[in-house]
Structure formats: C-alpha cells, structure tokens
Amino acid sequence: MSEKPLTGGSSTRRPFLAGNWKMFKTGDQAVAFVKEFVPLVGNLSDRDVALAVPATALQGVAEAAKGSGVIVGAQNLHWEKEGAFTGEISADMIVGAGATMVLIGHSERRQFFGDTDGWVSKKLAAAVSAGLLAVVCVGETLAEREAGKTFEVLASQLKGSMAGFVPKDEKRLILAYEPVWAIGTGKTATKEEAQETQAFIRKELSALGLPGQSLRILYGGSVKPDNAGALMAQPDIDGLLVGGASLKADSFAKIVNFG
C-alpha cells in the first residue's frame, strides 16, 4: 500500500477496513501480525486499512507498519492533555507513539467502563485537536432494538457524542455503527438491517448540521471473511470495524481484500 493522507469524511467515501484487537496480543505478537499481514494485502490504493491495537503495542506496531500505508490507532483516550488519571492515556501520548487514529465510545467502553455520550464528545474534541482520526462508535442493545427504540437511541447517542464537533473537522471523523447484540456474538446484523440503520445515521448527522453525505460510516459486529463483501455492497456501509476476525492475519486480509 502506498502512503496516503488521513481523511475521515471524503467525497468518495473510500472503503475503510479497521481491525479492533481489544485486549489481545502482547507487543511481540502484535509486531509479528503486522509482518505477516502487510504482504497479504499488497499494494491497495482504493481502500484504507487500519488497526486499533492495545496501548502497549502502539509504538511497536507503528514502527512495523511504517511505509505500508496501514493506519495505526489506539482503542481509547482521556480528554485531558495530562494529569493524575492513573491508567489512562492522552491524545499526545498516542501521537507520540507514532499512531494516527483512535476509537472512541466503543460499546465495551460504554458498557464496562462507564463511557457516556458526554465523555465521547470530550474525547472527540481532544482527538481532533491533537490531529488524530477519531472513529466514534454508536449502537443499540438487544433490549432497545426489541423495544423498537433503535432510532431513538442512536439519535440521542449521536446528538450527545457530536456535541461541539464542527463540520470543518470532518476529515478527522469516521462513524461506526455497532449493534451491541452483534458484537462478539456471532450474530451479524443482516445487510438490510445494517443498511437501514446506517442510512438513518447518515440522515441524523446531516440533521445535526454535519456533512452526512461525505462522512464514512463503518459497520461492526461479527464481521467475517464470508459476510464482508455483502455488507460492503450496501450503499451506506463505507467500511467495517472487525474484532475477532481481525486477530489472525489471513482472516483480516481476506476481509480487507473483499471484492
């Protein structure tokens, strides 16, 4: 892959395929993955490829991925520049490790660590001001979907998470729709469900005064090599955020090479 500029929103909505390793892989294992993975995805110029790795692997992966075009990111950040916040990392620390992206508001952060929409908006502001590309995640739980509240929940998450975000920073933002009931469960949203919901998200972004038509929206939740192509064929699915299936180089490479 050739080096290319980092852009969130783009008029062409170029495919964006991102792995999220969660709490898997030591530094050595992470670097070994990159060495195996990069040759498998070759010289792709029509799509973006990214890896969100554990904080301890950021620097090693950023060095190993240099020159490959693979975007390297963290999975979370704190909104303050520095301070007495044991266990947290700042945007500047991510940049200092050589990474250029960060996931914000993943449902596991919201569910297990108390991340709120208000925190997401502060984290987004910190990421933008440090020059990072932010991948902001939203999604409903099974109970919310079954109660017919999916759109209401997403509208409220988007409003809270995007508070303070301004259109001129669109190049720093990518959205990810991850239905909580589809994450790590083996239960993928059908392509129709994902398409319908992502079209709604795009409309809501526009209603918030943001460039909904040019922002990229990823789908995440039990993406596998055998469903990646069908999901990517949907008009409002611009990329994929992949957990489990991104942990092995060959399976993530198959997803990246969809189509």
Q: Whole-number minimum distance, CB 65 to ligand PGA, in Å?
A: 19
Binding of residue 138 to ligand PGA (CB under 6 A)? no
CA gap 101, 136 in Å, rounded = 11
Contact 216, 235 (CB under 8 A): no
Contact 134, 77 (CB under 8 A): no
Helix, strand or coil, per DSSP, at residue 17: strand
Helix, strand or coil, per DSSP, at residue 220: strand
Pick from 140, 144, 170, 178: which binds ligand PGA (CB under 6 A)?
A: 178
Question: Given the complex with ligand PGA, which of 105 and 220 has the nearer CB atom?
Answer: 220
Pick from 222, 227, 236, 239: which binds ligand PGA (CB under 6 A)?
A: 222
Region from 68-76, 119-127, 142-150, 241-249 binding ligand PGA, contact rule CB under 6 A: 241-249
Main-chain dihedrals φ then ψ at residue 223, nearest 5 degrees = -75, 135
Region from 23-31, 226-234, 238-246, 250-258 binding ligand PGA, contact rule CB under 6 A: 238-246
Going by the DSSP 8-state scheme, the letter that residue 189 receives in this structure is P
Question: Given the complex with ligand PGA, which of 118 and 184 has the nearer CB atom?
Answer: 184
Distances (CA, A) of 205 to 18, 44, 48, 83, 177: 21, 29, 22, 33, 13
Q: Whole-number minimum distance, CB 76 to ligand PGA, in Å?
A: 13
Side-chain half-sphere exposure of 70, counting CA atoms within 13 A: 30
- What is the Cα Rg of the chain in Å? 17
Q: What HEC string does 59-80 produce? A: HHHHHHHCCCCCEEEECCCECC
Region from 40-48, 87-95, 128-136, 218-226 binding ligand PGA, contact rule CB under 6 A: 218-226
Binding of residue 184 to ligand PGA (CB under 6 A)? yes
| Chain Cα centroid distance, residue 70 | 14
Q: Which residue is nearest to ligand PGA (CB)?
A: 243
Binding of residue 105 to ligand PGA (CB under 6 A)? no
Taking CA 250 as the corner, what is the angle to CA 244 and CA 254, rounded to the nearest 5 degrees?
85
Binding of residue 223 to ligand PGA (CB under 6 A)? yes
Question: Given the complex with ligand PGA, which of 183 and 249 has the nearer CB atom?
Answer: 183
Binding of residue 243 to ligand PGA (CB under 6 A)? yes
Binding of residue 17 to ligand PGA (CB under 6 A)? no
Pick from 20, 68, 195, 227: which binds ligand PGA (CB under 6 A)?
A: 20
Contact 127, 104 (CB under 8 A): yes
Helix, strand or coil, per DSSP, at residue 2: coil
Residues involved in catalysis: 106, 178
| 133: amino acid identity, one letter | L
Pick from 71, 125, 174, 183: which binds ligand PGA (CB under 6 A)?
A: 183
Contact string (CB under 6 A) for ligand PGA, positions 32-71, x = contact? ----------------------------------------
Q: Which residues bind ligand PGA (CB under 6 A)?
A: 20, 178, 183-184, 220-223, 241-245
